Every structure is written in structure tokens, then in C-alpha cells.
Amino acid sequence: MVSGLINANPVVYEKKERRVRSPSGCADEYAAEAIDQQEVFDILLALDIKDPEHPYSLEELKVITEDAIEVDDERSYVRVTFTPTVEHCSMATVIGLCLRVKLMRSLPSRFKVDIRVAPGTHATEAAVNKQLNDKERVAAALENPNLVDMVDECLAPTYG
């Protein structure tokens, strides 16, 4: 392992105040509530991926933000762009994998999920993107018991 911290002094951001949804449901029983940015963000927020070096959540480090999520319910398409804290962050692929698995398990199967590292924020951006969006490689990663355990550990608390 590397001696010393990769990112000794991360920038911590204040959590953005949540928009409160107006209580719905009683209004119209049959009205559909489309899957939107906020809902996907809520799904991802509950992820318990901690920075391995510091006790901050992904939201506090602005690894994922609501604005970095694109959702198109009609065309069944989600794209999540996340921002690693430092350019050579070793967690980038793991974070990406967790995001993908969480979305796979929480969204209807019709959705195509696209996970990307924000352009210019990671040293091996292309490689990470390729790895995260390659169906075969994701499947292979999930066959790996060590990786599955790790992902499950991150996901476990997100199910109420």
C-alpha cells in the first residue's frame, strides 16, 4: 500500500438542503410519478460508501451531486457522472461499481444505466469509463466474491 494518504486534506462541502416533495398520492390515485433526478439521487444517497481515508459521505465530498444525474424516464435512460476527489483516486472503480449495482437493483429493468467519471477529473478516465460500462466486465466483477462482499457492504444499509 502507499504510505501516507492519497488525499490528506479533502474539501468537505456542506450538505445541500433537501427539497421536500409536496405530499402526493392523496391528490390523484392514478397519476403517475415519473422517475426523476431527485429520486435517483435519493437512491444513490443512501449508499454507505465512505472515503477510505476520511469519515465523509459521498455527498459531503461532492462525489455525486443531483445535477450530475441525467434521467429520461420515457426513453428509460440514466446517466450518472461522478467526480473522484483526487485525480488518482483508487476508489473510482469501486465507487462506480457500487453506483451501478445499486441502480441495477433499484430501477426497473427497462433502464439503461450509464456511469461515467466527470471529464478531466481522473488520471485514467477512459479506462475507468470503459471498465464500468462493459457488461462483461461488470458481470465478471460481480462473480468475484471479494468484490461482491465489498459492494454488498456498501449497499446493505441502503435497504430500509
Partner 1 sequence: MAESSQLTQHIESFVNLSTSPAHQAASLDAIVSSLTNNALTVESLVREMGMYLTTTDDVIRARGILLLGELLTRLDSKPLDDATVHSLIAFFTDRLADWKALRGALVGCLALVRRKSSGGVVTANDAKAVVQSYIQNLQVQSLAQHDRKLCFELLECLLQRYPDAVASLGEDLLYGICEAIDGEKDPHCLMLTFRIIEVVARLFPDDLLGSFAGDLFEILGCYFPIHFTHPTGEDFDARRDDLSRALMVAFSSTPLFEPFAIPLLLEKLSSSLQSAKVDSLKYLSNCTVKYGADRMAKHARAMWSSIKDAIYTSHEPALSFTTDSLNGVAIDENGILTEALKLLETLIKQGLILSWIVGDEDINLIFKSISNFKSYNETPPQSKQKLHAAGHILSVSAKASLSSCRSILESFLPPLMDALGLSVGNSSQDCFNDKYVLEGRLNHGALYLCIELIAACRDFVAGSEEFKLEFAAANETWCCLLQSFSSSLAKALSHTLARSANGDAYDADIYFGVKGLLILGTFRGGSSIISKSIFENILLTFTSIITAEFEKTLLWKLALKALVHIGSLIDRFNESEKALSYMGIVVDKIVSLASSCEFSMPFSLKLEAITEISASGPYYLLKTVQGLKEVICSNLSEVYVHGNPKSAEIVVQLLECYSNKLLPRIHEAGGFEEALMRFALNIWSLIENCVAFSSQVHEKGPLDATMKAMKLAVGSCSVENQTIIIQKAYTVLSLSTFPLKEPASDIPIQLKGLQLAQETDNCSSRTAWIYSLFASIIIAVRPQTRIPNVRLVINHLMTTLLKGNVPAAQALGSMVNKLGLKSNGTEVPNTGTLEEAMDIIFNTNLWSFNDNGALRSNGGMENGGAMGLTDVARGAANSRSLQIHAIAGLAWIGKGLLMRGHEKVKDITMVFLECLLSNGRKSFPEEQNSSEHSPKSVMKCAADAFQILMSDSEGCLSRKFHATIRPLYKQRFYSTMMPILQPLIAKSESSFSRSIMCRACAHIISDTPLIVVLNDAKKLIPILMDGLSVSSNDFSDKDILYNLLLVLSGILTDKNGQEAVIECAHMIINRLVELIAYPHMMLVRETAIQCLVAMSRLPHARIYPMRRQVLQAISKALDDPKRAVRQEAVSCRQAWASIASRSLHF
Pairing of strands 69-72, 112-117: unpaired
Contact call for residue 108 and partner 1 (CB under 8 A): yes
Cβ atoms < 10 Å from Cβ of 38: 15
Contacts with partner 1, 77-106, as mask; x by CB under 8 A: ---------------------------xxx
- Whole-number minimum distance, CB 60 to partner 1, in Å? 20
Q: Which is nearer to partner 1, 9 or 146 (CB)?
A: 146
Q: How many alpha carbons fall within 13 Å on the CB side of residue 122?
A: 22
Measured from the CB atom, the residue of 65 and 76 that comes closer to partner 1 is 76
In this structure, what C-alpha cell is assigned to residue 21?
Answer: 416533495
- What would the x/- binding string for partner 1 be over residues 27 to 66, using CB under 8 A? --xxxxx-x---x---x-----------------------
CA distance 158 to 155: 5
Under the criterion CB under 8 A, does residue 160 sit at the interface with partner 1?
yes
Residue 88: which of 55, 60, 53 has the closest Cα? 53
Q: In whole angstroms, how close is the CB of 47 to partner 1 at the nearest point?
A: 13
SS3 140: helix
Q: How far apart are CA 48 and CA 34, in angstroms?
A: 26
Residues near partner 1 (CB under 8 A) are 21, 24-25, 29-33, 35, 39, 43, 104-110, 142, 148, 152, 159-160
